[in-house]
Structure 1
Amino acid sequence: MIRVERVGPLATIQDLGRPGWFDSGVGIAGAADRSSLRLANRLVGNPEGAAGIEALLGGLELLAQRHLTVAVTGAPAPASVDGRPVGAASVLEIEEGQRLRLGLATTGLRSYVAVRGGIDVAPVLGSRSRDTLSGIGPEPLRAGDVLPVGPPPRTHPIVDVAPVAAPAGDLLTVRVVPGPRADWFADAGALYRGEWTVSSDTDRIGARLDRRSGPTLDRRGAGELPTEGMALGSIQVPPSGQPVVFLADHPITGGYPVVAVVVDADVDLVAQARPGQPMRFRPC
């Protein structure tokens, strides 16, 4: 068992989501940065899709109520066990009564905590993920919550630490596939010229962008699209001209044109981009 002693701006339980429910109006959700959750689970010997904790900007404190094997990945929040600093992306053995603390991340946006056995809350529609758009799944964590831990898998971690690059702190280059509604824009290529910045209006649903330099992304005409399906990574452009990159909890349909779609491998990069971080898009 794990007791939550403190949370930062937001901490939720996440796995790799609940695919297969689009026909019921339910999105996949799951970890915003899937590669970081997968790595944390591999480090502690879990299946990659086991449920862990996603902490926005860090600020999390957990009390072990039995011996735990833990790993912390994602945004490099300074971590300590009972005040002793520990390395990022390393395997930690935490004894009963010890506290794991995450400070505030200096780069990146979301940190992940995996525990051997996984967070064993009741699944909803086959997943333990919190979907912040629909409200499905376990509630966001609060101080005083006690989280059950599942039985440990038979395999054992074979590494002590994983060398991983820190999230980009400067200009972020994101690869996209142009379309499918590029013809709705007077100059769809304006997306790739100049730079954008991540606005403060960013959450698990999507990252809204402000123009930093370059031409505006103007829509052609004043018509509206019928509602159509939206994929993870879609760059939807509302009439304001401020693109929104859809992330884990995005709506499954929308009526604004999608000028391009972020390639799946780069969605995790966008999920770690902080407000104010510059970004550019490259078609591929």
Structure 2
Amino acid sequence: MSALEVVRPGPLALVEDLGRPGWSAVGVGRSGAADRAAYQLANRLLANDEGAAAVEVTLGGLEVVARGGDVWVAVTGAPVDLVVGTRAADPYAAVCVRDGERLRLGMPRAGLRSYVGVRGGVDVPAVLGSRSRDVLAGIGPDPLAAGDVLPIGRPPAEYPRVDAVPVPPFEDEVVLRVVRGPRDEWVRDPDGLVRTGWTAASQSDRVGMRLDGPRLALAVTDRQLPSEGAYRGAVQVPPSGQPVVFLADHPVTGGYPVVGVVVDADVDRAAQVRPGQRLRMRWV
């Protein structure tokens, strides 16, 4: 059986798939790839099932070696310089890593998270029906470390129909579309969310992107909201007044007011915003 042996994991490398829906009643969120569109594109380039597990790499630096046979990979998401053995390879393309060759990912030129899809998928044991690592709940495969060996599943019967696709643009300042509410009356000036620009804070992670900027003052200070269901893309305002955009590993409930919700397609774009990068929001 072919496999990938981890030489260097980089800052953070996680096995992710489409997540584990249906467990929120027992306190377990869906999790899954932070940028679902990029993850699914990697699988399409390899003719995988759409839910085949891949490796989510934050800020590059991953190095792996093919073991037990040739391995076909496709790297999407944040565009990186790829080296296979001694030759350069293109991102957003199906690439063959020969048995014993090393695949290296450089630092992304833009964006935050890259996805290494493998033809056949990463075949680690599933937890509650998913191979995703949930960093908040602490379930799923551990973050990758040097020496880990990732078994690869049986390749699909179909072959890829394209060799490569164009690398999408990554903006210097991201604009996220947001719908209002449902608790915008708990904030004195909810339009402050779209009136100004924000900076992604260094504390951002897969749980949520914390925003630095003007404080959004709460209109209700003498009581608290009861905890209610939380949603991917929700923009929550804690007592600090600095909003948080919930991402893949958000909690299943929350008690701070939600002033808006990022349009679902734009949550993938939010997952590619680097700490220190500027962004804006606009109502839709």
Normalising by the smaller structure, the TM-score range is over 0.9
Counterpart Cα distance in 2 of 1:55 and 1:89:
15
Counterpart Cα distance in 1 of 2:169 and 2:17:
22
**Superposed displacement of residue 146, structure 1:** 0.4
Counterpart Cα distance in 2 of 1:220 and 1:283:
20
**Deviation readout 1:142-184 (Å, 9 max, x if unpaired):** 000001100001011011111131322x111100111000000
The equivalences for 1:52-63 within 5 A come to 52-63=54-65
Within the candidate set 53, 70, 75, 1:72 is matched to 75
Show the counterpart of 2:238.
238
Show the counterpart of 1:36.
38
**Superposed displacement of residue 77, structure 1:** 1.6
Counterpart Cα distance in 2 of 1:54 and 1:183:
37
Two-structure CA RMSD over aligned residues (Å): 0.8
**Deviation readout 1:228-254 (Å, 9 max, x if unpaired):** 110000001101011000000000101
TM-score under structure 1 length normalisation: 0.97
Counterpart Cα distance in 2 of 1:261 and 1:100:
38
Q: Which moved more, 1:82-91 or 1:107-116?
A: 82-91
Show the counterpart of 1:219.
218
Classify the secondary structure of the residue corresponding to 1:269.
Answer: helix
The equivalences for 1:265-276 within 5 A come to 265-276=265-276
Would the aligned equivalents of 1:75 and 1:166 in 2 still touch at CA under 8 Å? no
Number of matched pairs: 280
Counterpart Cα distance in 2 of 1:144 and 1:74:
25
Counterpart Cα distance in 2 of 1:239 and 1:35:
33
Counterpart Cα distance in 1 of 2:73 and 2:102:
12
Would the aligned equivalents of 1:235 and 1:258 in 2 still touch at CA under 8 Å? yes
Counterpart Cα distance in 1 of 2:116 and 2:236:
31
Would the aligned equivalents of 1:76 and 1:166 in 2 still touch at CA under 8 Å? no
**Deviation readout 1:95-150 (Å, 9 max, x if unpaired):** 10011100111210000000100000111110000000001101000000001100
**Deviation readout 1:182-217 (Å, 9 max, x if unpaired):** 000111111110101101111000000011xxx641
Classify the secondary structure of the residue corresponding to 1:200.
Answer: coil
Within the candidate set 162, 175, 178, 1:176 is matched to 178
Counterpart Cα distance in 1 of 2:192 and 2:248:
26
- Runs of 4+ residues deviating >6 angstroms: none
**Superposed displacement of residue 93, structure 1:** 1.1
Counterpart Cα distance in 2 of 1:246 and 1:139:
22
**Superposed displacement of residue 221, structure 1:** 2.6
Would the aligned equivalents of 1:198 and 1:278 in 2 still touch at CA under 8 Å? yes
Tell me if 1:128 matches 2:131.
yes
**Deviation readout 1:34-83 (Å, 9 max, x if unpaired):** 00000000001101111000000010001001111110000112111013
User: Which structure 2 residue ranges, 5 or more long, are not aligned?
Assistant: none
Would the aligned equivalents of 1:227 and 1:254 in 2 still touch at CA under 8 Å? yes
Counterpart Cα distance in 2 of 1:151 and 1:254:
40
Counterpart Cα distance in 2 of 1:44 and 1:216:
45
TM-score under structure 2 length normalisation: 0.97
Classify the secondary structure of the residue corresponding to 1:201.
Answer: coil
